[in-house]
Chains A and B, each alone.
Chain A
Amino acid sequence: MSDTHAESIPFVRETTLPQAAPPTAERGVYKWGRENLFATPANALLTLVSIYVIYVVLSAILPWVLNGVWNAGSLSECREILAGTRGGCFAVLVDRWEQLFFGFKYPSDQLWRPTLTLVLFFFAVAPVLFFDLPRKLLAFTAVFPFLAYWLIWGGPILVPIVALVGVGAGYVVYSRLVAQSFAGGFFGGIAAAAVVWFLGGYLVDATTGPSSLLDAVPSRDLGGYMLNFMLGVTCVSLSVPIGIALALGRQSSMPLIKWLSVIFIEFIRGVPLITLLFVASVMLAYFFPPNSTVDLFLRVVIMITMFSSAYIAEVIRGGLAALPKGQYEAADSLGLDYAQSMRLIILPQALKISIPGIVNIAVGLFKDTTLVSVISMFDLVGMIRGPILASTDWNGVYWELLGFAALLFFVVCYGISQYSQWLERRLATDHR
């Protein structure tokens, strides 16, 4: 080392400085806050306004929730406990939770039945929703509707068994005949199932004894959130296949099928759901003899299913229309027949495109099930508006009950929406 510059350079550092932390303004919460919240004066102003709004909302809601009363026998008792302070009267939820979830007439010693059905429902629906799960689980999914029917409605066990056997017979006939012709398999399957059900009906009549394993519960006794859930699940799962059939029918080259589909879709879409429900509950009663009406739950299921399948058909038609013509031609050139080309080529792509639309309709449909309260079925909203608010104990409790209902619906709808986003990511096979 020379000393040439020793007089001009008094000190040369020979080691590197240890890394110093960035200045406070450039790290951690300060940096994040400055960049994201207070980047410009306008941003700062917006941030302050938002904080103020959040403060106002929370300062109104939080004390009301935290100061809430959970143990009281009536609204006036609540008010005594609160003694003039602000607070929610959540005791109504504690007092009436059975009614909110199951309606007021489901036998209270039988509540394990719908609860068990709900637990089984999650097992049954899992392999449908998450197709990475082993396919063998689908066997339970196929049995579940019949099991659920028996658990909730009770009565002779032969009824769901006959129904299951009928479906099984229909499937066997379908898979035998479908190799020759799709239509032959389709209608042959339906005919076989109908024959089994018809004969099974006599069998049930002949063998039904006075006692059964589970007590029968009439449909009128169903209610609460259970009713919303049952209507939502049944109608969505029925209306997707019907919607697919209608969408394909609308594109069919057979004029009769095509026009029937078009008329059905356009008619149903042109009528408000509430009108259909009134028809189900009121008008149909005129067409049956006094003692033999079709079950009200079934009538409502049919009407809601018709309504949502018309909408789902249009969503799926959008998916079908989005496919390039080349896909259809490719399927034809491979020598696939109509059913094969739809099942293997067209529908998998079209349904993937349609997922957001179908989910949108499913969420809307689930919330629309509260409309049945207008035709005096006691779903969650019907229970709140009718029996609970009309009891002398709880007349006047609005925010707590309706807020609770909103929370229940939010949980389910948000879950559906999150699932559909996962599904879209999972199925994203294109290179966007």
Chain B
Amino acid sequence: MKKSVIFGALTIAGLAAGAAAAGTLDDVKARGKLNCGVTTGLVGFAAPDSDGNWEGFDVAVCRAVAAAVLGDGNAVEFVPTTGKTRFTALASGEIDMLARNTTWTFSRDVDLKFTFVGVNYYDGQGFMVPKALGVSSAKDLDGATVCIQTGTTTELNLADFFRTNNISYEPVPVETNAEGQQQYLAGACDTYTTDASGLAATRATFENPGDHILLPEIISKEPLGPLVRHGDDEWGDVVRWTLNALIAAEELGVTSANVAEIGASSTNPEVKRLLGTEGTLGEMMGVDADWAANAIAVGGNYGEIFARNIGEETPIGLARGLNAQWTNGGLVYAPPFR
């Protein structure tokens, strides 16, 4: 009780004139900080390093949005959320946006009243098997024992896949990824199935990663992307077009190295519009003209972010695959900046 009053006093002291019920964009500008929900820790996607700085693929999206709105990629308050608290944190306004490898589904978009602003990673469920098993396709897994996390969509996808291919399997239920990893290594199951990015990250921690392979079949669609609350379209636009700016920058050849001068030197009008040296795109959205240049300067374009956090040079070693630009046969595609 003593403390509640102390904190009450603190709260009063710390509160500037509260801007209630204004748009999220104005709130963020007034606050000078973006509250961005991330996971409490997922290899490659979001985790603090030994100095406490958040790093990762999802974190880069938060930093890009902060740079676009506030001009500073470090003006982010990272709010760690678990799978259970993420949606309430967003709905209650504790965070302005959520970038927490969240699958875009119908019910989350429509029923939970969120707006997915795009996809930053196309994931899907895959299989990992020991090389010694001699299996090269998931369709060869007839009669296999499968380690599977209970209560997830992966469990349902697995049942569907084996039924449609008319083959049988024996599930070995596990609770967490750590448990699945142990069971799989101990030989309790022939194959371990979860999201392909998760499998790659798990395999990267093995003592002998080369002894295990990921099968080529991806049996479900898991588009992961950032999301905001329903009903605040101005803010949704900012997050959506920041993500699109990162993607378009890769397509247009704008990198963190050349972003400072290419806006002036390029002859491509779309580059000029994107970087704000021509046109009024930033003004339309209510941010500075060089919003996209700031966002790209923080961590580079989409390809650079991918390569640095989860790409083939990192221990996780994910290939671009579906996440290549549409010009390279992938699904990553930004609408025109016009």
- Residue positions of A touching B, CB distance < 8 A: 75-76, 79, 95-96, 99, 104-105, 108, 145, 149, 155-156, 159-160, 162-163, 166-167, 193-194, 197, 200-201, 204-205, 208, 220, 278, 281-283, 285-286, 289-295, 298, 301-302, 374-376, 378, 382, 385-393, 395-396, 398
Contact = CB atoms under 8 A, between A and B. Distances in A.
B18 A292 contact: yes
B120 interface: no
B107 interface: no
Contacts, number: 148
A156 B44 CA distance: 39
B179 to A, nearest CB: 10
Contact of A290 (B8, B93, B204): B93
Contacts of A155: 10
23 contacts: A76-B315, A99-B52, A104-B52, A149-B6, A193-B2, A205-B9, A208-B13, A220-B79, A286-B92, A290-B92, A290-B94, A291-B19, A374-B82, A375-B85, A376-B79, A378-B80, A387-B47, A387-B48, A389-B178, A390-B40, A390-B47, A392-B44, A392-B47
B277 to A, nearest CB: 37
A149 B20 CA distance: 30
B12 A390 contact: no
Contacts of A285: 88-89, 92-94
Contact of A385 (B3, B9, B40): B40
Contacts of A96: 50
A370 to B, nearest CB: 14
Interface residues of B, number: 52
Considering residues A108, A291, A293, which has the most beta carbons from chain B within 10 angstroms of its beta carbon?
Answer: A291
B242 interface: no
A327 to B, nearest CB: 31
A166 B40 contact: no
Nearest to B178: A398
Contacts of B153: none
A166 B81 contact: no
A264 to B, nearest CB: 15
Contacts of B82: 374-376
Contact of A104 (B48, B89, B182): B48
B80 A99 contact: no
A190 B132 CA distance: 73
A104 B80 CA distance: 12
Contacts of A382: 40
A247 B2 CA distance: 21
A395 B200 CA distance: 12
Contacts of A156: 13
Contact of B81 (A75, A283, A376, A393): A376
B47 A292 contact: no
Contacts of B287: none
B201 interface: yes
Given A291-B18, A386-B40, A95 B81 contact: no
B4 interface: yes
Given A197-B9, A290-B20, A391 B89 contact: no
A201 B2 contact: no
A298 B7 contact: yes
B41 A95 contact: no
Given A290-B20, A396-B205, A201 B50 contact: no
A289 to B, nearest CB: 6
Contacts of A376: 40, 79-82, 85
A407 to B, nearest CB: 20
For the complex of A and B, 8 pairs with smallest distance between CB atoms: A390-B41, A396-B205, A386-B41, A386-B40, A390-B47, A285-B92, A104-B52, A290-B93
